[in-house]
Structure 1
Amino acid sequence: MSEATALTGGTGLRPAIASALDRVAVPGDTATLWRELGRAGVLRALSPSGAGQPPARGGTADPWALEVLLTELDARHPTGTVLSACVQLATALPILAEGLGSDLVRSVYESVLDGEGRVALAATDLGAGGSDLMEATTVAELGEDRVVVNGGKRWITDATTAGHALVLARHRPARHFTSFVWVLVPTDAPGVTVEATSTRLFLGSGVGNLRFDDVTVGRDHVVGRPGRALPSFARHIGTERLASALWARAICRRVLDRTRERLAEHPLHGRTAWDNDAVRARFATCLVELRRMDALCETIRGGPDEQPTAVDGMIAKAAVAESLQYVVGECVQLQGAAAFGDDGIAHLHTEAAAWSIAGGATGAMLAGVADHAADVLKATR
């Protein structure tokens, strides 16, 4: 019996993840990690169907199952590697699964689930503000047997490492949510330029920019129905936002655990830093913030038959972005010089700022929450 069969048959997700991670010797080796997760059946188990079969229309990934993987990854790998897994499993793969209309798309989908391929979610546009996808200028000209793509995407996770990019492009000029289409573009196709982003942050993420100059692919590279791209994106990005919030909670737990250990070891005035009342008060405030995150996440989880809404994802992302930045910032100060060592957390404080930007800026999230104010107030009763 294969590892994938054993896993989907009930052996358990966490042991399979741990076994796969044990076979990755170098932290940040995202290619090997993805391959081992595929061989262990983890990627198939985390697909919307739970077994790697095409999900029902509208099927989304389970953020609570993704939390198991993201927490384990966070304990062993850099932020960029975890980011790569989060974006692909929460958003890119479910979008592909909805659009398995051609043998080509299905082949790429299966390759990614097997851990042999990777796909970059290319949504953020070079010609528009980060969260304003309606103003995207990347264009796909749809012909009877071919598609021509022109434009560019920026700060795309896995841009430099994925074999294909799932490109959000405009196929009609009208500023309307039905004017967009997904096109699966090979990153080595003629006319595609891949440029690594100049940053020392997010090791293992493969973040970069993509440019498309008269990139011509077959019509079978269209994913799903033209006009359905933005609704599809909105449905699945909500899962990614919630999964990233659960991941942020795991980061806070990990950082607080390590900070508590360092404080208990660090001498101060003949005792330890942990014995200092001012230090303990600051640390306790972080614990209160962590419990707030716990309460929010558990409220969103709800009952067994309840499904998180798009607004739940917006609320979680906006709230956790602030909490993560606060907790990590306080822990940097509490750890002092140790936070700036090679294994320190000072760099994490900078990376944590991405939670206020990536996947939708906090301002955009709050605007979306305000649009649903009546529903949110009703839910809190």
Structure 2
Amino acid sequence: MSDLLVAPSLTGVLNGLAASASGRDVWRALGRARLIEQVGTDPDRLGRLLAAVDRRFPVGTTLSVCVQVATVLPILADGPAEILHRVRAGIDTIALAATDIGSGSDLTALRTEVRLGDDGIDLTGDKRWITNATTADAFLVLARHKAGRHFSSFTWVLVPASAPGVTVTPADTPLFEGSGVGHISFDHVCSGQVIGRPGRGLATFARHIGTERLAGGLWSVALCRRVLADTLERLSTRSYGENTLWHLDSVRQRFAECLVRLRQLDALTRTVGSRIDTTTAALVKAAAASTVDHVLAECAHLQGADGFAADGVQHLRAQAGLFGVGGGVTEVVLSTVADDALSLLRGMDPECSPGLG
């Protein structure tokens, strides 16, 4: 049996927090209980952690935890051990500052620059829609250290949130409560340190993108499962004629289609597991975005007027749009899938599979 949920249990730790707890609060509690270090990048543990957080807290809070455990920690593994220890212990919250103004999913187009010298760094640029921006103790910043779009032109830099020249502005959105989402400006910031080798920024990011996208897939399964269970309960208890809405064939068929899609995504994440690579990560990302969009749209329809209540499924549906945008827009990841089309088709051909012969 997994040693995750060793006392203090994951459920016990999370239930000890207010339902309105921020991502920073949850991260601290998980760290103090040594649950973050137990999770690592193991798919089963990661899925259980994200499902437990999603069940208890708003989307923004889960997003805050997800980004740190799936992306920040693997990248920081190339940095000083003391920094990694503080984050795992929940002492520090770190914001992943990758996306620039206007760069979107094309990270090679980012304009944030860092000058590396014997006497330190000089960082200038702007980052947009950064999770944990307003609550972080430090920012893990992707910046270019030389001109051009080459893969080796980018470096990770860890910058204290309190450093002179750092300005943080909360994002103007009613969504993602608990995530600390905001925008960050760096004006000749000289405090900070390089994480990993200069020029290895995008390579490091690419090496860990699979974990990030698998985490998104695992979280999307948990979220859809939770919403479907809630919708089923509502349909089963709402009267319609001499029975309930659940007994209408049209309702049951729409719900069943959601179950089919969710089961397919669940099977994909389980099949991929720890063997995830660039192509399978893109498959998971695209499948998660499509599944969440379909399931939440159907549940919003099936719940009717109730879905428009405060914090109802319509509000959740708007927040869940992040699955099709964050970590790479769906169109970009589908292009990655298309690039490896022949290999994927061969992998599904029984003649190319090991076994009987």
TM-score of the superposed pair, with normalisation by structure 1: 0.88
Q: Is the 8 A contact 1:146 1:216 kept in 2?
A: yes
Equivalent residues in 2 for 1:8-19 (5 A)?
A: 10=3, 12=5, 16-19=9-12
Residue of structure 1 in register with 2:31 after alignment: 38
Residue matched to 1:191: 165
Deviations 1:62-102 (A, max 9, x none): 233211100011111000111111110111111011222xx
Q: Secondary structure at the match of 1:26?
A: coil
**Which of the numbers 315, 326, 335 marks the counterpart of 2:283?**
315
Residues 62 and 239 of structure 1 are in contact (CA less than 8 Å); yes or no, is this contact kept in structure 2? no
How far the C-alpha of 1:24 sits from its partner, in A, is 0.6
Q: What does 1:62-211 correspond to in 2, within 5 Å?
A: 62-100=42-80, 106-126=81-101, 128-211=102-185
Q: Which runs of 4+ in 1 moved over 3 A?
A: 10-15
Q: Does structure 1 residue 344 correspond to structure 2 residue 319?
A: no
State yes or no: 1:228 paired with 2:196.
no
Asked if 1:250 is matched to 2:222, the reply is yes
Query: In the superposition, relative to structure 1, how do residues 274 and 79 fare at CA in structure 2: closer, same or farther (>3 Å)?
Result: same
**Residue-by-residue CA offset, 1:218-249 (whole Å, 9 max, x unaligned):** 5xx11010011101011112211111111101
Q: Which amino acid aligns with 1:16?
A: S
Q: Which residue of 1 aligns with 2:270?
A: 298
1:181-235 CA-partner distances (Å, limit 9, x unpaired): 11100111110010110111111111111000011125xx110100111010111
Quote the residue 2:346 is aligned against. Answer: 378
**Structure 1 match to 2:190:** 216
Query: Is the CA contact 1:63–1:90 (under 8 Å) kept in the aligned structure 2?
Result: no
Distance change >3 Å, CA 14–CA 272, structure 1 → 2:
farther
The range that moved more, 289-298 or 326-335, is 289-298
Q: Secondary structure at the match of 1:244?
A: helix
Match for 1:371: what amino acid? D
- Paired with 2:38 and 2:123, the residues of 1 have a C-alpha distance of 33
Q: Secondary structure at the match of 2:123?
A: strand
User: Any conservation in 2 of the 1:159–1:207 contact (CA below 8 Å)?
Assistant: yes
Number of residue pairs matched by the alignment: 349
Whether the aligned pair in 2 keeps the contact of 1:20 and 1:40 (CA below 8 Å) is yes
- Per the alignment, in what secondary structure is the counterpart of residue 129 of structure 1? coil
Residue in structure 1 matched with residue 298 of structure 2 by the alignment = 330
Secondary structure of the residue aligned to 1:172 is: coil
Letter of the 1:33 counterpart: V
Please say if residues 14 and 69 of structure 1, whose CA atoms lie closer than 8 Å, have aligned partners that are also in contact.
Answer: no
SS at match of 2:77: helix
Q: Distance in 2 between matches of 1:125 and 1:140?
A: 14
Check the 8 A contact 1:14/1:68 in 2, yes or no: no
Q: Secondary structure at the match of 2:151?
A: coil
| AA partner of residue 326 (structure 2) | A
Q: Which is worse superposed, 248-257 or 279-288?
A: 279-288
- Cα distance between partner residues in 2 of 1:159 and 1:318: 26
Supply the distance in 2 between the matched residues of 1:13 and 1:153 (Cα, whole angstroms).
Answer: 38
Q: How far apart, CA to CA, are the structure 1 residues paired with 2:4 and 2:346? A: 40
Supply the AA of the counterpart residue of 2:90: G
Ranges in structure 2 where 5+ consecutive residues have no aligned partner = 350-357
Gaps of 5+ in 1: 1-6, 48-60, 101-105
Work out the percentage of aligned pairs sharing the same amino acid. Answer: 47
1:15 offset after TM fit, Å? Answer: 6.6
| SS in structure 2 at match of 1:162 | coil
1:353 pairs, out of 321, 327, 339, with 321
Tell whether the 8 Å contact from 1:165 to 1:186 is kept in structure 2 after alignment: yes
Q: Equivalent residue of 2:191, what SS?
A: strand
| 1:28 and 1:203 in contact (8 A); partners too | no
Q: Which amino acid aligns with 2:161?
A: T
- Superposition RMSD in Å: 1.7
Shift of 1:13: 5.4
**Is the partner of 1:159 in helix, strand or coil?**
coil
Aligned-partner SS, 2:104: coil
Deviation at 1:266, TM superposition (A): 0.8
Query: CA offsets, 1:102-148, max 9 Å, x none?
Result: xxxx333222111121000000012x421111111000000102100
Say whether the 8 Å CA contact 1:63–1:240 is kept in structure 2.
no
